[in-house]
Amino acid sequence: MSAPLYIKINDKDNVAIAVKDIKAGTEIMDGIITSQDIPQAHKIALTNIPKDGEIIRYGVVIGYAINPIKKGDWINEKMLKLPTPPSLDDMKFAKNIVTDLPEHPVKTWQGYVNPNGGYAGTRNILGIITTVQCVTGVLNVAIDRMKKELLPKYPNVDDIVAINHAYGCGVAINAPEAKIPIRTIKNIAKHPNFGGELMVVGLGCEKLTVDMILDKADISPDNVIILQDIKGFEAMIEALMEMADKKLSKLNERRRVELPLSDLIIGMQCGGSDAFSGITANPAAGYAADLLVKGGATVLFSEVTEVRDGVHIIAERCIDEEVGKKLADEMRWYDNYLEKGEVDRSANPTPGNKKGGLSNIVEKAMGSIAKSGTSPIVEVLSPAERPTKKGLIFAATPASDIVCGPCQLASGIGLQVFMTGRGTPYSLAVAPVVKVCSRNDMKDLWYDLIDVNAGPIASGDATIPEIGTLLFNLIIDVASGRKKSLAEKYKLYNDFCIFNPAPIT
């Protein structure tokens, strides 16, 4: 059986997606002949579309034709006008609550119980929190020594990770939106992979003081080092080494135990997306999300600008009006945030997204929300908030990969699933990242960076449930420490970039 030339998602669609490059003059279906070369993943007009006519994909209007489009034409981003975003004032909640979810094939996993309760860890890491960028140089020198001299003594500890960031000083610390970066740092200190061991390094004159990120009971010389209180660089390094040695000794006593899926929290994110992302990788991840939720796990999905144009669809899956109103509030906050910067949601698609066939943010959003699966949404979080419920959760974050990831980490995820069409080596040091690609060509190109290939869905060689179940099983294996993701294997870790919408002074 030959691979299909195109994919049409919904019966209402008047466009199809080219599965591979299609030459001009190719008959793709009865009466439709391509009028020009169609690049892989780009749209082909299935009907004549008049000026200002609707262009429909996923069964929704993704834009309006700037000029008339003929049947068989290539439709790209220069040919569409952006539609008005869905209103946030008249959304319907709890109208599409799906409870008949696919049955999870695995009921337990191997994780680290945390002494303070809450979600279990997927890794055993000494996390060292900084209060300000000024201490980064000293801490990095110390960590280099720690990994050479201390870590080999503690075989049950996976790594030592510095939470270096650009926040802490030269910032409007009392500005209303400063709560977001402060909350991010405070919550990352409590990450399940850190096993309850606190180690904070400050300078001594920064605006972000230790009491802003630690509970009063945790502020002690056992947990905090202030460099301005120490005489000399070598003494600073020795103090850091001594504290780390004590923390590592305690972490070394941790052991994995069999746990229910309800102790597992996973993040879903996509980046470097293409037009296949919403057909293959994201729906497969959504199926895996449904399996996880059915088993009792918690799954976060994010990226406000990549949900905004599908928010009315998401709203119907919110379990009640309280959750739905929080969703609307987060969308409204982000609309205002973008407006203050004199941009709107159309600033989101990247050149790579467009090269991959995504014409605008509406088309991108319709594919992006597929990674959430079909489960009911039980809670909505502001950026870097921690969950209070278990199940499927929308965690409001920017769409930027390197900012969304730290926000989800602050919310407690122990593993992230990352879908990509164009490819990115992005990963996180605090928790493993499993990569899923949307097309076979991507897997062939980056065969040793992509963990799961969802491309066979487009070529007709696999189904969404098959790839989704494969992904689910890999999530359990990586979370349990039986396997490493490829990015984790190569230690491809991005910097810890905090979302800071507050002014810098």
What's the pLDDT at 29?
Answer: 87
Q: Inform me whether the pLDDT recorded for 12 exceeds 60.
A: yes
Closest to 345 measured CA to CA, from 394, 386, 290, 308: 308
Residues 149 and 58 both lie in one domain: no
Residue 184, domain member (yes or no): yes
Is residue 146 in a domain?
yes
Q: What is the DSSP letter of 171?
A: B
On whether residue 452 sits in a domain, the answer given is: yes
pLDDT per position as a tens digit, 242-268: 999 999 999 999 999 999 999 999 999
Judge whether residue 35 has pLDDT over 70. yes
Q: Among 225, 251, 277, which residue terminates a domain?
A: 251
* pLDDT given at position 2: 65
Residues 275 and 424 in one domain: yes
pLDDT tens digits for range 135-166: 999 999 999 999 999 999 999 999 999 999 99
Q: Which residues contact 361 (CB under 8 A, 6 or more apart)?
A: 82, 305, 306, 308, 309, 345, 346, 348, 349
Identify whether residues 361 and 392 lie together within a single domain. yes
pLDDT classification of 438: cutoffs 50, 70, 90: very high
Residue 117 is predicted with a pLDDT of: 83
Is the confidence at residue 318, as pLDDT, over 90?
yes
Please indicate, yes or no, whether residues 243 and 275 belong to a single structural domain of this protein.
no
Kindly give the interhelix angle for 464-479 and 281-294, rounded to the nearest 10 degrees: 60
Reported confidence tier of residue 204, pLDDT bands at 50, 70, 90: very high
* 277 shares a domain with 409: yes
Whether the CB-CB separation of 308 and 331 falls below 8 Å is answered with: yes
Q: How far apart are CA 151 and CA 221, in angstroms?
A: 22
Same domain, 51 and 150: no
Question: pLDDT over 70 for what percent of the chain?
Answer: 100
Residue 236's pLDDT band (boundaries 50, 70, 90)?
very high
Residue 357's nearest CA partner among 68, 56, 59, 38 is 38
Q: What is the pLDDT of residue 30?
A: 84
Of 228, 254, 267, nearest in space to 427 by CA: 267
| H or E element that contains 311 | helix 311-315
Is 464 a domain residue?
Answer: yes
91 falls within a domain: no
The 3-state secondary structure of 105-157, one letter per residue:
CCCEEEEECCCCCCCCECCCEEEEEECCHHHHHHHHHHHHHHHHHHHHHCCCC
Helix-helix angle 136-145:233-251, to 10 degrees: 60
In this structure, the answer to whether residues 345 and 223 fall within a common structural domain is: no
pTM tops 0.85: yes
Q: Is 173 helix (H, G, I), strand (E, B) or coil?
A: coil
Q: Determine which helix (DSSP H) or strand (DSSP E) holds 281, and give its type and residue range.
A: helix 281-294
Structural domain contains residue 120: no
**Residue 200 covered by a domain:** yes
The domain in which residue 452 lies consists of 258-490
241 and 221 part of one domain: yes
pLDDT at 434: 98
Same domain membership, residue 148 and residue 243: yes
Please tell me whether residues 396 and 332 are part of one structural domain: yes
Domain annotation covers residue 98: no
346-362 pLDDT, tens digit each: 888 899 999 999 999 99
CATH number of the domain at 167, please: 3.40.50
Asked whether residue 381 carries a pLDDT value surpassing 70, the answer given is yes
Provide mean pLDDT across the span 83-112: 95
Phi, psi for 116 (deg, rounded to 5) = -95, 10
Last residue of a domain, one of 218, 251, 284: 251
400 touches 414 (CB < 8 A): no
CATH classification at residue 36:
2.30.130.110
Structural domain count of the chain: 3
pLDDT at 424 over 70: yes
Q: What is the pLDDT of residues 389-408, one digit of tens each?
A: 999 999 999 999 999 999 99
Residue range 439-465: average pLDDT?
A: 97
Q: Is the pLDDT of residue 1 over 80?
A: no
Q: Is 267 left (phi over 0), alpha (psi -120 to 50) or beta?
A: beta
Are 71 and 172 in a shared domain? no
d(CA 53, CA 443): 37
Residue 503 buriedness (CB in 10 A; 0-12 / 13-18 / 19+): exposed
Domain boundary at 49, 65, 81, which?
A: 81
Pair 270, 336 in one domain: yes
What's the mean per-residue pLDDT of the chain? 96
Residue 189 has pLDDT above 80, yes or no: yes
